[in-house]
Structure 1
Amino acid sequence: MKRSMLSLVAAMLCVLFLFAGCASGGESSSQSSVDSTAVEPDSSEDSTEPESGSDSAVRTITDHAGNEVVLPEKVEKVAIGGLTPLTSVYCMFMGSSEGLVGIHPDSKNAAVNSILGEAYPGLKELPDGWASGDDINMEELLKLKPDVVFYNADVTANYEALAAAGIPAVGFSTTLYEDYNTIDTFQAWIELLKDVMGDSDRADGIIAYGEEVKSKVAEKLSSLSDEEKPQALILSNYNESAITAGGISFANYWIESAGGENLGYDIGAFVGQVNMEQVYEWNPEVLFLNSFSAYTPEDLYNNTAVDGHDWSGIKAVQNKRVYKIPLGMYYWFPPSSDSPLMLQWMAKQMHPDLFEDLDIEQEVREYYTQFYGIELTDEQLDLILNPTPESAAAF
């Protein structure tokens, strides 16, 4: 496959990938639309401007888009838009879904069809009709009377519409770091939540855990030579329509941070559509199936995935080194509240001997107890580490 054609297709696929709110770019901003029938603020509600002589009535923060946002001294009502994984991070930070008055329908689907909804059942009842994709129905949103709306910082049309309606809007970004460091992104979301919601007893512990994980994994991998790093590929999605490989973003961060070489790097874009010929040319030693896909490792081992796709000649298939990326509070591939677990899981799959002492099941149990207050059952743990085909269709 010629790289020029691959890069062109990759750019197109990148736009499609953004539907889940995992990342966004200029195209998303220009395509986002807002219901223009109700963009005026409700003058009957309390203004965010301070009363005369009351300097403490509001405060100003800076979000990931670089915008200065004026907020009430105490934020009590929050709506979360198209950055879908952020809902799980909010609940982790707050210790509950308290304060949420509306979420994106994709976030609601995630809550209904994963352990997120079991941990925070209130999410299942929240209004979601005010948002669709990157679009906002301003009339419906104003009915929720939020103190602030969290949105994808790369979708500038959302900010402009919310500002015009007089609703404070705080942008959270997935593209803060050139290397798409997913754990650092997750931690930056926690820091911004501290700015908006106030400090949390949980926040420092969440960030400290992530830093410890990064340090421990990096230390174990520090002595690896390039020859000892397996050539790996993440299929960010795989269905009857296309094979989509991870490129320079989250896929590259996960593979390189876990001690591997990312074969998809040359795609030169977030993700890219490839064919079986390209997969055979790469011939990955380790292959990861994102949980966006309904297929399992057994489908590749048994050639029961897509008709006409023969995986039997791929090293990862021959050596039974195909792994399905877990699905916990959210998909583990993009930034999420489970990102520190993803790095450990990836490193364990890439270098089982180096990480022989890492009991990933126990690590997940302890993490969920410490940061979510959940004692996982064996069934719940199995569903996290071995997502069902049905879970892919739910999002």
Structure 2
Amino acid sequence: MKKNLYLTLALAGMLALTGCGNASNEVPAAGSESSSTAASEAASSDAAAENASDETEADVTDSASDSTDTITVTDMNGREVTVPKNPDSVVLTALPLPSIYALTGAPVENLKGIHPGSTSAIENSIMGSMYPDLVGIADNFVEGQDINVEELLKIDPDVVIYWGEYENQYEALKSVNIPAVGVFGEKGGNVVATLKTWVGIMGQLFGTTGNTDKVIDYANEALKEVNEKVSTLSDEEKPKVLYLYNHSKEQISASGSGFYGGFWIDAAGGNNVAKEIENFGDVNMEQIYEWDPDIIILTTFTETMPDDLYNNSIDGQDWSQVSAVKNGKVYKEPLGVYRWYVPCGDTPLMVKWMAQTLHPELFDYDMIDEIKKYYKEFYDYDVTDEQAQGILDASPEAAKGTSWNATRSGK
């Protein structure tokens, strides 16, 4: 490990900081000359994007002071960050990034720290079997939005990739001279575009993008295939869809326009009942009765399962009046190498799953077979039928550690 390349911490400073998601959806493959289209990570991402440089992909140059040992990357906030070349101690506080990191082909053993929300996804998905080195790595240095600098310093990271809209994380990392690279979803909610941008940044940092160019191509081809069928549908032929970003007895949060859920609904030929909401927002049952969605989709950031709505077991909420519940059309999104709602290594599979979920009369994908072929091609991993079914039947345990109230932006 490169020891303390940037860490010049005074003890007093350390102790002071111990607490504290249509045809136009296509984007070029990572590394192409065309700039990526925009996609939104969270409600606060728009403000962060306005402060970033006009380029959606990070720029990278050799460090003038030591071109053989460091590189300079411009992150999504427009900040120039000098990091060691080929860092061997990497920390990722942005939840989806471990799955993308693995896809790039960078050494998994160099990943030393992740968010607890990433841990719960890894431990309750196929990711743990695919990459056992990721099970049990450090996650005690972050809770919600807050980084415990004292615990993080024990990992001695060469670089931390963090949520770019969390300025408190940047300031904490800056205070101890840890190189901090900010990422977030770009405007518009395009999941594939966001994936492309993140892959580009990781490729510059770690010197490899693996099969990610082909993954982007695969996703674009799937989007085109789906769009050819759904673009001719009338509004009456498109189901009304409610994508519940978060759900509990205390809170019902719907994914609106300019956010990942809205992107998936539009791409798959649905009508987003919450489109008047920007990004995402809390709603009540009266509003849901008025919308009366035909289909409800639950993210894997919430422990709520379809049976909870079918059985009307949520205190203070009567779902029995909603068409989606009455007609048995409540679905839990899958969880593979990560939660399929956000940009992740399985994003191309989500394109097909969403299309088939919204329009089974138009699409007849064998998702078990699709998953097995995809994982073999892009992860070189042989998935059993049982494992593939497990991806489609996500566990509610995977929602643990996401700290919804503390980490409201995009996961």
Give the structure-2-normalised TM-score: 0.78
Post-superposition CA distance 1:304-357 (Å, at most 9, x none)? 32245333332222322221111222222222222221121111111112113x
Query: How far does residue 50 in structure 1 lie from its aligned partner after superposition?
Result: 6.9
Query: How far does residue 64 in structure 1 lie from its aligned partner after superposition?
Result: 1.2
Task: Output the CA distance in 2 between the equivalents of 1:282 and 1:109.
Answer: 33
Name the structure 1 match of 2:70.
Answer: 58
Q: Which amino acid aligns with 2:221?
A: E
Query: How far does residue 264 in structure 1 lie from its aligned partner after superposition?
Result: 0.8
Name the structure 2 match of 1:126.
Answer: 137
Distance 1:63 1:391, change over 3 A: closer
SS at 2:71 equivalent: strand
Structure 2 unaligned residues grouped into runs of 5+: 1-40, 49-61, 403-411
* Greater Cα shift, 105-114 or 185-194: 105-114
Report if the CA contact (8 A) 1:26-1:155 is conserved. Answer: no
Query: How far does residue 97 in structure 1 lie from its aligned partner after superposition?
Result: 1.6
Q: Which structure ranks higher in relative contact order (CA pairs < 8 Å, sequence separation ≥ 6)?
A: 2
After superposition, residues 246-325 of structure 1 pair within 5 angstroms as 246-248=255-257, 249-266=259-276, 268-301=277-310, 303-325=311-333
Q: Does 1:363 align with 2:364?
A: no
Q: Which amino acid aligns with 2:211?
A: R
Query: 2:205 pairs with 171, 193, 196, which one?
Result: 196
Report if the CA contact (8 A) 1:229-1:260 is conserved. Answer: yes
Task: Output the CA distance in 1 between the equivalents of 2:83 and 2:77.
Answer: 16
Query: How far does residue 117 in structure 1 lie from its aligned partner after superposition?
Result: 1.4
Task: Output the CA distance in 2 between the equivalents of 1:193 and 1:367.
Answer: 22
Distance 1:24 1:169, change over 3 A: farther
Query: How far does residue 112 in structure 1 lie from its aligned partner after superposition?
Result: 2.0
Task: Output the CA distance in 1 between the equivalents of 2:120 and 2:178.
Answer: 25
Query: How far does residue 260 in structure 1 lie from its aligned partner after superposition?
Result: 0.8
Query: 1:373 pairs with 371, 380, 384, which one?
Result: 380
Q: Which amino acid aligns with 1:212?
A: E
Query: How far does residue 24 in structure 1 lie from its aligned partner after superposition?
Result: 6.3
Post-superposition CA distance 1:4-28 (Å, at most 9, x none)? xxxxxxxxxxxxxxxxxx6463899
Post-superposition CA distance 1:101-159 (Å, at most 9, x none)? 22222222322222221111111232222222222222332332222111111112222
SS at 2:202 equivalent: helix
Report if the CA contact (8 A) 1:50-1:57 is conserved. Answer: no
Structure 1 unaligned residues grouped into runs of 5+: 1-21, 30-47
After superposition, residues 1-395 of structure 1 pair within 5 angstroms as 23=42, 25=44, 54-81=66-93, 83-94=94-105, 97-174=108-185, 176-177=186-187, 179-248=188-257, 249-266=259-276, 268-301=277-310, 303-356=311-364, 358-393=365-400, 395=402
Query: How far does residue 243 in structure 1 lie from its aligned partner after superposition?
Result: 2.4
CA RMSD of aligned residues (A): 2.5
Task: Output the CA distance in 1 between the equivalents of 2:137 and 2:267.
Answer: 37
Query: How far does residue 393 in structure 1 lie from its aligned partner after superposition?
Result: 4.1
Identical aligned pairs, as a percentage? 41
Q: Which amino acid aligns with 2:101?
A: Y
Query: How far does residue 196 in structure 1 lie from its aligned partner after superposition?
Result: 0.8
Report if the CA contact (8 A) 2:215-2:348 is conserved. Answer: no
Post-superposition CA distance 1:276-303 (Å, at most 9, x none)? 22111111111112223333333333x3
Query: How far does residue 259 in structure 1 lie from its aligned partner after superposition?
Result: 0.6
Query: How far does residue 76 in structure 1 lie from its aligned partner after superposition?
Result: 2.4
Distance 1:282 1:49, change over 3 A: closer
Query: How far does residue 71 in structure 1 lie from its aligned partner after superposition?
Result: 2.1
Task: Output the CA distance in 1 between the equivalents of 2:270 and 2:98.
Answer: 31
Distance 1:50 1:131, change over 3 A: farther
Task: Output the CA distance in 1 between the equivalents of 2:178 and 2:397.
Answer: 38
Query: How far does residue 386 in structure 1 lie from its aligned partner after superposition?
Result: 1.5
SS at 1:288 equivalent: strand
Aligned length: 348
